[in-house]
Structure 1
Amino acid sequence: MKQLVTGLMLILTIGLSHAQPTTDTLQMTLPQAEDLFHQHNLSLLATRLGIDEYRAYQAQARLFANPAIYIEQMPYNQQSREFMPLAQSNSEQVIQVQQLILLAGKRNKQMALAATNTQLAADRYEDLIRTLVYQLRSTFYELHSLRESLQVYDQEIGTLNQTVTLYQQQYDKGNVPLKDLARLKAYLFNLSTERQQRLAQIADDQSNLAVLLNEPPTLVIQPVLTDTDLSMERNPARLTLDSLLAKADRNRPDLQAYRHQAKSEQQNLALQKALAVSDLTLQGTYDRNAGYIPNYFGVGVGASLPFFNKNQGNIQAARIRTKSSQQATSAYELQIEGEVQSSLLKARQADQLYRTFDQHFNADFGRLIDGVTLNYRKQNIDVVEFIDFFDAYKNNQIQYIQLQNDRLQRLEELNLAVGTNAFSN
């Protein structure tokens, strides 16, 4: 019976091992992630096709109106009783050719409007890149921070597990009290719970990063920060608000989209006014057996008379949209000024706090906690002091990692607000 149970457990274990999805791990720097993002992101590929769509509309606006032809043939001659007569003496044919001539510069105005709409689509594409690149970089830094924190928890839990095992043995021998062992196990459980929370956040960031890079969710990405990412040369205290506002004015594609939208409304207003002007229709006519003379040729000009419909409603609506877009642009300019000012302030605060943190303190604290662990196992310090030191070490490590991540996040928010690298010339 025991052999049967063992065999079933073995089969179940093999089955579960085959059922688990295989995962691949890939170390990746931020430049590598950005290259992959630009090549494979589905949202970018879809939006890029939208620009081609508006270019097609722009090409359509350059085309002239097609000429129209009208042919009339006598189907039956009642006098000669012939069907579809073609002889000169007993048939009648009429041929007319018409060509529409747009006046008031309608074609040029349509072309200008189509060109602005194409530029507007390009602005939205660039703004999508700006937003998604920020999400990529922010998620990349956040995932790196979480994995660094996870290493701290793994190190502490591993050390604490050894200590709990030794204390369990001493408790079984009656050498240590139960309350000390319970305190250690409670703290170990607390560390494991915090670690589990980090794992859940890592799973979310991993999923988001896989979507941004259009990679399978089974690919485990391990972010690697370079010296460029951690460089202290990027000091927001050296930046001035005026220079950043000037950069945002030039580089924010969403602001350019507002401006091109206002320009588009102005061009539409000009087009609506031009549509109030009647167009000309040139016509040439040939009549084989006209009532006046045979083989009649005539030239005519036609135009609608704008007595009732002068496109008044569309012109008024275009005026309203023009004013509305201008006001919206002004409001958005003020919003961007606020975003740049706020992001600069937060970047300076995060950078200053990070610079005040003694990075050598971590190494000293690490050596100290090793000594504390050894003295606790020798029972030179009690469990309360040991847990206090252990918790302080954990908090110190996590705080340093969080400060580093906060600085990187605030710098990325500043780049997002400016629309480009805030530290570039």
Structure 2
Amino acid sequence: MSEIKVPAMGESITEGTVSRWLVKEGETVNQGDVLLELETDKVNIEISAEESGVLEKIIRQEGETVEIGETIGTLGAGTGGGSGASASEPAAEQKQAAVSAPEAVAVAAPPAPAAVATESSDNGTKTASPAARKLARERGIELDQVQSKDPIGRVYQEDVKSHSTQAPAPTPAPVSKAPAAPASAPAAGGSTYAKPVERQRMSRRRATIAKRLVEAQQTAAMLTTFNEVDMTAIMDVRKRRKDKFKEKHDIGLGFMSFFTKAVVGALKKFPTINAEIDGEDVVLKKYYDIGIAVSAKEGLVVPVVRDADRLGFAEIEKSIADLASKARSNSLALSDLQGGTFTITNGGTFGSLLSTPILNTPQVGILGMHKIQLRPVAIDAERMENRPMMYIALSYDHRIIDGSEAVRFLVTVKELLEDPESLLIEG
């Protein structure tokens, strides 16, 4: 028998949450088969079997918090009673057999209703996830009435949600004989919850984001300064060069490469904004690892473009595209997220005209990009033109960055963007 343990996942991660077991007790697995998914503060990882055998026992259930090195299950040699297959039979053949004979699934005996409906047997039942049981209790739904989409018949939260939209949930019996308050009388706090609501548990990543954002506001003397950029020159360069750029580099010429180059040029001029505070010391970083904020399904992540000062426009665009793709497919590695020195976030992709970004601590500066909008601009005392303008915002830690330094940094970014040729020199 061997133990299934939570592996080390980086210096900054000490625990995780069991997201989903992909194998049931008694099932046969081969070496390398994925046993479960583990959710951490930064990335989700898959834990695989280190040897072939049978999953004898699941010690930590879905939704439970586990620490690095903790035993969460046991794997033994032999044939699993739940799968009905020998230990030497490849898992792929079992899956293929299930696909090629759907009628066998249709006539298989369903789990006993008593086992499905039991709410107190959390340690033994594998028929529903904790989240599904909780949601079913809240909505007054019997689990044996829920149709599972899982091949092994396990009920998940999505199955309960789907069931509740297809059929009205029965009204749960009242737990108190006290007369109900009138619907018009609000409870203390101004809400009665009499109307339909849905309660969702924060994902581990969302909870961590919330915690870090609050910490950033509580620990840093954060201030934001604003400016605006005339994007005419950049848009002209993109219009003239985008086809040849795409043909040569097999990647589009976007705005992020210009902004990354401009930020690097400004950071070289104002090195304190590329630093961090360590106790009573200021650590000035002589490298430029620029974090690019990406909105993923489970929340904001900030993968890092390494050594951006050494990369060309095409290399920056490819790095950003690759990191964004990983973020949206939930395949970022810890190394993709660690060690950034400055962050760029682009709320303009969602239509934001102006915002005050929050620091990505321990960094002391973050640049916010916004929507490009045609606005009338005075060219001289007698002439007005409609120009593509963008508001930009720099949030900074006032503990080590003076207001004048922050303003000059943002003016430098503006000047570099409005003269793209200078990026080849300054960036």
Which of the pair has the greater relative contact order for Cα pairs under 8 Å at 6+ separation? 1
Superposition TM-score, scaled by structure 1 size? 0.17
Bigger proportion of residues as helix: 1
What TM-score, normalized by structure 2, do the two folds share?
Answer: 0.17
More strand by share: 2
